[in-house]
Structure 1
Amino acid sequence: MLDATAGSPWFQVQRVTETLARIDEPNVHELLRANIWHLRGRDHDLVVDAGLGVASLREHLPGLFENSPVLVLTHRHLDHVGSAHEFSDRRMHAATEVDGRTPASLRGPELASLLGLAWLDAPPLLIDRAPSELFEVDSYAILPAPATDVLADGDVIDLGDRQLRVVHLPGHTPGCICLFEEQSGALFSGDVIYDGVLLDELPESDTAAYLDSMLRLRSMPVKIVYPGHGDPFDGDRLRELVDAHLRLRSGDGS
């Protein structure tokens, strides 16, 4: 039985810059421990992705909702859309549907089956404690959160004092997008790129499209990457990761 009282608060908040914070869920297995990015703007705040949805963002982090936040979903996987229903302004690509049918489970073997992952040593549970005494593992599901605005390549998210451009980079999923701030060179990359094993062979993935996305990404003047999983890294590391994946897919693993 999961303990609902031990440990720290469910969400961990780390200040990255004066205007940017990283939020994650330390009691979640690393596969699903995704980053939520909170960027403060003059007229609106930007929230990139919405976590697993095991615990309420609005209840635990009410400050996230104070400045008319714009939620942008980078793609449709459960660890990025879980609390999307809590936001009134939800923006995503047309292929990112959060319609109540998102494959979701907190049981490792079941989730592996739902996602088509060859995860032979999947743990029985993907969280190590419950967020509350009333929480039931098998009641977990992604609630519907339809787009209030559909995003396409080249669209701009305007926060008043800063603007971020939508970059559609399919492959991991059909609807994967990144957000790029030209002025700072900052890229919010979702699962298009992070410093780890990149997944482009899921049932909904498109390896050829992913390679095209990698080539486009490599050509962008990125200075810093804020990924969907793991720590930020610079543009040089981004290009190293892209090159390594291109070599892998070309059959040259050297």
Structure 2
Amino acid sequence: MVDWHTRTDVDSTVTRISEPHVNELLSANFWWLRGTDRDIVIDAGLGVVALREAIPGLFARDPLVVLTHAHLDHVGAAAEFGHRAAHPAEAGLLAEGVPASLYGGELFAKLGIDPAGEAVPELMIDALPDPGYDPATYRIEPMTVHRLLNDGDRVDLGGRALTVLHLPGHTPGSIALLEERTGTLYSGDIVYEGALIDDLPNSDVAAYRRSMRFLVDLDVAVVHPGHGDSFDGTRLRQLAEAYLRRTDGSADEKS
């Protein structure tokens, strides 16, 4: 058996969980936050290995899973949770069933990704979780969202609360969550170190630019992103400004 998940404690109440055997394109972070009244999990990884089996403590307090957007690397294990939350614009996609495959060519076709001459991985994982695992069985079943989250909504854990920020562009219903008390932003795929994806069929560069203009002025201490390592508020502004420079003149920013 392969140890599929890596867990890193940020502090006594926040844990980063990642999947090191997943291809870089899909190797996402998800975040386990503990409050005095309840826990939440922000995103749910690829779902190749059942979280209830791998990390049973994650479910001890019946957590709410908050999905930043409806892509397979963020919602793969979401159906394991009894309570799910997402933006209304993503709820319909989740109800239909998120396009998913562990085979690179099939996945790119389902997502409408143009590899632009780059080599496409045959398999999106570099190990099997167990010798008998068949990647062809991987799929994400349709799921219901129990709580719809709109811009400005609050998610209260007891002793801490997070504010929902609707920041479209990567997808129409992409959200981030801001804990104002600590200045911590959980950014999903809105921003991270690396090439930001804004050319999927439901991406919108103009909306992405508006979201980045918002982030340039957002006062945060640390960003915990959906991919890669965390960074500070100065780096957030640098990344947002770099995106705005790169896309300047490429999209109409009508509100």
TM-score, with structure 2 as normaliser: 0.93
Identify the match of residue 151 of structure 1 among 141, 149, 152.
149
Unmatched tracts of structure 1, length 5 or more: none
The answer (yes or no) to whether the contact 2:97–2:143 under 8 Å persists in 1 is: no
Q: Distance in 1 between matches of 2:156 and 2:249?
A: 42
Q: Which residue number corresponds to residue 115 of structure 1?
A: 111
The answer (yes or no) to whether the contact 2:163–2:177 under 8 Å persists in 1 is: yes
The answer (yes or no) to whether the contact 1:100–1:142 under 8 Å persists in 2 is: no
The answer (yes or no) to whether the contact 1:23–1:35 under 8 Å persists in 2 is: yes
Superposition pairs for residues 66-215 of structure 1, below 5 Å? 66-96=60-90, 97-119=93-115, 120-215=118-213
Identify the match of residue 22 of structure 2 among 12, 17, 28.
28
The answer (yes or no) to whether the contact 2:88–2:173 under 8 Å persists in 1 is: yes
Q: Distance in 1 between matches of 2:8 and 2:143?
A: 27
Q: How many residues align?
A: 246
1:47 equivalent to 2:41? Answer yes
RMSD: 1.3
1:9 equivalent to 2:7? Answer no
Unmatched tracts of structure 2, length 5 or more: 251-255
Q: Distance in 1 between matches of 2:124 and 2:141?
A: 19
Provide, for residues 185-211 of structure 1, a one-character-per-residue CA deviation record: whole Å limited to 9, x for no partner: 100000000011011111110110110
Moved more, 60-69 or 108-117: 108-117
Q: Distance in 1 between matches of 2:141 and 2:128?
A: 19
1:60 equivalent to 2:54? Answer yes
After TM superposition, give the deviation of residue 100 of structure 1 in Å.
Answer: 4.7
Q: Distance in 2 between matches of 1:99 and 1:148?
A: 11
Q: Distance in 2 between matches of 1:129 and 1:160?
A: 39
Identify the match of residue 32 of structure 2 among 27, 32, 38.
38
Q: Distance in 2 between matches of 1:37 and 1:69?
A: 12
Q: Determine what percentage of the aligned residue pairs are the same residue.
A: 51
After TM superposition, give the deviation of residue 227 of structure 1 in Å.
Answer: 0.2
Name the CA shift for 1:155/1:42 in 2 (closer, same or farther; >3 Å): same
SS in 2 for 1:236: helix
After TM superposition, give the deviation of residue 132 of structure 1 in Å.
Answer: 2.6
After TM superposition, give the deviation of residue 68 of structure 1 in Å.
Answer: 2.4
Q: Distance in 1 between matches of 2:95 and 2:150?
A: 19
After TM superposition, give the deviation of residue 101 of structure 1 in Å.
Answer: 2.6
SS in 2 for 1:99: helix
SS in 2 for 1:157: strand
Q: Distance in 1 between matches of 2:193 and 2:61?
A: 31
SS in 2 for 1:95: helix
